[in-house]
Amino acid sequence: MARTPLFVALLAAVNCAAAAKWKGEVKKVDGATYQCKCYSDNSCWPTNAEWNALNKTVGDALQIAIPPGAPCHKMLGNSTTSVYSEAACAEVKANWINEQWLTDHPIANLWPLYTNNTCLPSDDPSIPCTRGFYGEYVILAKTKEQIKTGIDFARERNLRLIIRNTGHDFMGRSTGFGSLIINTHSFKDVKFLKTYSGPGNWTGSAALVGAGVQGRELFRHAFAQKPPVVIVGGECPTVGWGGGYIQGGGHGPLTSIYGMGADNVLSFDAITVNGEYVTANAEENADLYWALKGGGPSTFAVVVSITVKTFPEVPTAGTIININSTHTNDSAVLNKGFHIFHNLANHYTDNGMFVYFELGPGPGRLHIAPLVGPNMDEMKLNEVLKPLFDQLDEAKIPHDRHTRAFPTFFEFYIDMFEDEQPNQNSIVGGRLFTRKDLDDGADKVADAIIFASNNPTPNNVGLSVGHIVDPGHGVPYADNAINNKWRNSSSFVITNVIVSGLESWDEKKQLENVQTNVVGKRLREAGPDGATYVNEGDLNEPDWQQSYWGDKYPRLLEIRKKWDPKGVLYTKTTPGTEDWEVLDYGTKLCKKVS
């Protein structure tokens, strides 16, 4: 039936009325007007009947979002229903620094600063517990249809939508006040292909990996193949490989020989913000394919599975080096040792190596664990590291070191990498230093990292977590959203201003300023040719568009406007979020409209 002008006008009026119904409040801040998402204190918030209908549609997969510490408290906010349980509280306490337990939880964040730390485990159940910056409801999705339903519900009702895979997130992007959360952690299927048949020009082996598969379990699956294979993944075992890791770029122990994780993606299966199932690869939805490879987590679509290149297993050797209080309490000696070690960064990457190190917290500790030598045995690694060993010995830097070799990368990884300890609080920043930065001023770079790792404020120690890595060594060029600075990288460091997490809002803002304009300024000055990393950086990074993505940003912004023009998805400092702010002390997400 043809649509008459009157019919079209009436339809437009109905749509406008429906849209108006779901608008949140309007806020004016510093002369600007903001239109907010819909929250529970707004009339547009879904009724209990609507939430119940959603739960029925997703097959009872909808749950109230309960913070992991809540079972230790008699009340959760103003709720009339107690979640207190002595047994459950004991389980929480026993697992509070257990990464796997936390990533398996429906909503937990491994780094809790951006949850507002308002519901921590306690020995006193009468202490108040509030939801803080966690969401209101979570869909524990096990099917694509459940994800689609959640996206549709959030889009139609103007709710803040959070995609939560593992909660392994330094930057608070896995949580959001008053949101509807879709948890994709259960998408664990992995299928290996001996030969990939396209599209694209890759004809080697590949794997189809569900969005919820984590780093170490993916390595286990790969090693179980006959013959065993490897996949580029992160050094941390619990990282959500198919989520933010790939969508932010993804570096790891094999990056210097095989490139970034996103460099090796062949195809995505995803669900758009309009609830459409799509495949994105070299031939189909090629712009989305390009953007999902490093353009930012939870930015363009919700990824369900990824097809990725696999490679033959490789023999791998590693060396661990420690300089700490058992060797010396002289900070000048330790700093000299760090200079010797870090000034050789270009040498390590010239040989296809990856190095993980920690400097701090505070003065007195350098932990290099490990220097990774893919395709090396012990003799070869010792030969490559001879300049390091000789300089440490000549300078009489006291330390301990040991080297081991393994027939496969997987056996090396299981033996020589260490798990992180979650539920720590810090204001995070970072810097990617290029080979040019090291060539032009290696001592200046080392001094900046030492500064960040000691006492960036009189009352706060620092900690730097470093990764010496160059994806350009193995993959000089890749057609994706990753900042081109990575193709000439040498060292990437995550800096931390350690906090308690219980500081006031003003104190937190002051410490964020220290990270950005004291620590970060020192890093930027030491590495003027460098950049920052999408997944592990400063949320207040100046000129973040250029710093995170360089000349890729204009295309990313264009793609974002095409695939999510209304901002159904949001994570801070990702393409297209320039006009969005989280107002009211970290709570309500609002868009500037004038």
According to the model, what pLDDT value does residue 3 have?
47
pLDDT in tens, 276-335: 999 999 999 999 999 999 999 999 999 999 999 999 999 999 999 999 999 999 999 999
Distance separating alpha carbons of residues 403 and 399, to the nearest angstrom: 14
From the CA atom positions of the chain, what is the Rg in Å?
24
Residue 492: strand pairing partners? 432, 467
- CA separation for the pair 262, 259 (Å, rounded): 8
Question: Is there a contact between 490 and 431 (Cβ–Cβ < 8 Å)?
Answer: no
Q: Is 316 exposed, middle or buried (0-12, 13-18, 19+ CB in 10 A)?
A: buried
- Separation of alpha carbons 336 and 330, rounded Å: 10
pLDDT at 145 over 80: yes
Mapping DSSP onto H, E and C, the string for 165-187 reads CCCCCCCCCCCCCCCEEEECCCC
What is residue 19's predicted lDDT score, i.e. its pLDDT? 53
The phi, psi pair for 53, rounded to 5°, reads -65, -40
Average pLDDT, rounded, for the chain: 95
In eight-state DSSP terms, residue 242 is I
Contacts of 283 (CB under 8 A, 6+ apart): 199, 200
What average pLDDT does the segment 346-367 reach? Answer: 96
How far does Cα 594 stand from its chain's mean position?
32
Report the alpha-carbon distance of residue 340 to residue 391 in Å, rounded: 7
pLDDT tens, residue by residue, 503-513: 999 999 999 99
**CA–CA distance, 455 with 67 (Å, rounded to integer):** 32
Instruction: Produce one character per residue of 363-380: b if its CB has 16 or more CB atoms within 10 Å, e if not.
Output: bbbbbbbbbbbbebbeee
Torsion of Cα atoms, 511 then 34 then 248 then 151, to 10°: 130
Omega before 361 within 30 of 0, i.e. cis: yes
Q: What is the DSSP letter of 150?
A: H
Collapsing DSSP to helix, strand or coil, 359 comes out as strand
Quick one: pLDDT band at residue 13, thresholds 50, 70, 90?
Answer: very low
- Owner of token pair 């006031």: 504
Judged against a pLDDT cut of 90, whether residue 143 lies above it is answered with: yes
* Residue 17 pLDDT > 50: no
Pick left, alpha or beta for residue 391 (phi over 0 → left; psi -120 to 50 → alpha; otherwise beta): alpha
Distance CA 309, CA 229 (A): 10
| Residue owning tokens 């000349």 | 551
Please give the pLDDT value at position 22: 74
pLDDT value at 156 more than 50: yes
Q: Is 373 helix (H, G, I), strand (E, B) or coil?
A: strand
Domains detected in the chain: 48-183 (3.30.43.10), 190-312 (3.30.465.10), 316-541 (3.40.462.20)
Predicted local distance difference test score (pLDDT) of residue 463: 97
What does the alpha-carbon distance between residue 108 and residue 129 come to, in Å, rounded to a whole number?
Answer: 15
Phi-psi region of 250 (alpha: psi -120 to 50; beta: other; left: phi over 0): left
Q: pLDDT tier at 79 (50, 70, 90 boundaries)?
A: confident
Residue 78: pLDDT band by 50, 70, 90 thresholds?
A: confident
Interstrand relation of 580-582 and 588-592 (parallel, antiparallel or unpaired): antiparallel
- DSSP letters, 434-478, are EHHHHHHHHHHHHHHHHHHHS-SBTTB-EEEEEEE--HHHH-S--
Residue 262 confidence (pLDDT) above 70? yes
Would the pLDDT of 18 be above 60? no
pLDDT band at 23 (very low <50, low <70, confident <90, very high): confident
- The Cα 300–Cα 291 span in angstroms is 8
pLDDT in tens, 466-479: 999 999 999 999 99
Q: Which two tokens stand for residue 213?
A: 């598969």
CA distances to 15, 17, 263 from 6, rounded to whole Å, are: 14, 17, 52
Please give the pLDDT value at position 16: 47
The pLDDT tens digits of the residues spanning 447-470 come to: 999 999 999 999 999 999 999 999
HSE, side-chain direction, 13 A CA sphere, residue 429 = 31
Q: Look at residues 443, 421, 340 and name the one whose alpha carbon lies nearest to residue 110.
A: 421
* pLDDT over 60 at 6, yes or no: no
Distance CA 292, CA 318 (A): 32
171: closest CA among 551, 462, 533? 533
* Rounded Cα distance, 399 and 324, in Å: 8
Mean pLDDT for the stretch of residues 52-68? 98
Q: What stretches of 328-445 adopt beta strand conformation (E)? A: 354-359, 366-374, 400-406, 426-434
- Other C-beta atoms closer than 10 Å to the C-beta of 581 total 18
The predicted pLDDT at position 20 comes to 59
Share of the chain above pLDDT 90, in %: 94
Q: Which residues contact 524 (CB under 8 A, 6 or more apart)?
A: 431, 530
Instruction: Grade residue 12 by pLDDT with cuts at 50, 70 and 90.
Output: very low
Q: Is the pLDDT of residue 244 over 50?
A: yes
In this structure, the number of other CB atoms found within 10 A of the CB of residue 17 comes to 9
Q: Report the distance separating Cα 147 and Cα 288, nearest Å.
A: 19
- The answer, yes or no, to whether the previous bond of 227 is cis (omega within 30 of 0) is yes
Residue where the block lists tokens 């900070």: 331
Distance CA 402, CA 379 (A): 13
pLDDT tops 80 at residue 524: yes
With contact defined as beta carbons under 8 Å apart, do 71 and 85 qualify?
Answer: yes
pLDDT of 542-576, one tens digit each? 999 999 999 999 999 999 999 999 999 999 999 99
Q: Which residue has the tokens 């301990």?
A: 400
- Which pLDDT does position 588 carry in this prediction? 98
pLDDT confidence tier of residue 81, bands split at 50, 70 and 90:
confident
Residues in the chain: 594
Res 568: pLDDT: 98
Q: How confident is the model at residue 82 (pLDDT cuts 50, 70, 90)?
A: confident
Residue 253: predicted pLDDT: 98
What SS3 class is residue 332? helix
At 562 the three-state DSSP class reads helix
